[in-house]
A = this chain, B = another copy of it.
């Protein structure tokens, strides 16, 4: 029986990786995949993969593996990507542009309906065929395009206002890249990605190796 309730975030973050691999296999008409093969392609241990999939009730066939089509459909449903999700990206600077291009190319399950900015250099243009609107049109476009998810890549000082506008239009999920603590009603899910924090936490986890290198350097200079 699939587990009810919320899966641990570590499992959830692996599901899209499985999805990407399964997309590829399905595209190549490969119908079955073993946990060992999934392990090679994802970098996760075969045991971890089996545990993750068992958590959601997807048991492979012993000795054979998993049916790729079936597993892909299951994962899409679990994540909630089986229905179209309309996404708006607020901020068409480098990060917003990178995010838009990356998502449009790599993520067939979400629909980027527009980017929003205030700069005359970007407004009126297009990124990968998606229009860049003026920020003033945000709320109208959210209604018109039925935007459900907002991605915030504006400077910290503007982030709260952007969130407020989206919440007014009933956007329920926000991915925030601005280094700011954002406020929203409880029913709105906000995830924060802070590129600086990713770098700093990497440094923590690599600190022993980095420290050993510094000691070597200092000894050389003596």
- Please tell me the size bucket of the interface on A: 35 or more
Contact indicator B203/A110 (Cβ below 8 Å): yes
The docked-state distance in angstroms from the alpha carbon of A18 to that of B5 is: 31
Residues of the B chain whose Cβ atoms lie less than 8 Å from the Cβ of A214? 83
Contact indicator A204/B149 (Cβ below 8 Å): no
Q: Is A157 an interface residue (CB 8 A)?
A: no
A22 to chain B, nearest CB (A): 13
Contact indicator B102/A217 (Cβ below 8 Å): no
Contact indicator B20/A179 (Cβ below 8 Å): yes
Query: Can you tell how many copies of this chain the complex includes?
Result: 2
Q: Is A199 an interface residue (CB 8 A)?
A: yes
Q: List A191-207 residues whose CB lies under 8 Å from chain B.
A: 191, 193-207
Contact A189:B201 (CB < 8 A) given known A103-B196, A195-B103: no
Bitwise, A181-222 to B at CB < 8 A (1) or not (0) is: 100000111010111111111111111011101100100000
The docked-state distance in angstroms from the alpha carbon of A23 to that of B210 is: 24
Q: Is A4 an interface residue (CB 8 A)?
A: no
Contact indicator A107/B148 (Cβ below 8 Å): no
Stretch at the interface among A29-37, A57-65, A113-121, A168-176: A168-176
Listed by A's residue number, 25 A-B pairs whose Cβ atoms lie within 8 Å are A7-B204, A9-B201, A12-B201, A12-B205, A15-B204, A16-B200, A41-B181, A79-B204, A80-B203, A80-B210, A80-B211, A85-B210, A102-B195, A106-B196, A107-B196, A109-B200, A110-B199, A146-B217, A148-B213, A170-B213, A172-B206, A173-B209, A173-B210, A187-B209, A191-B205
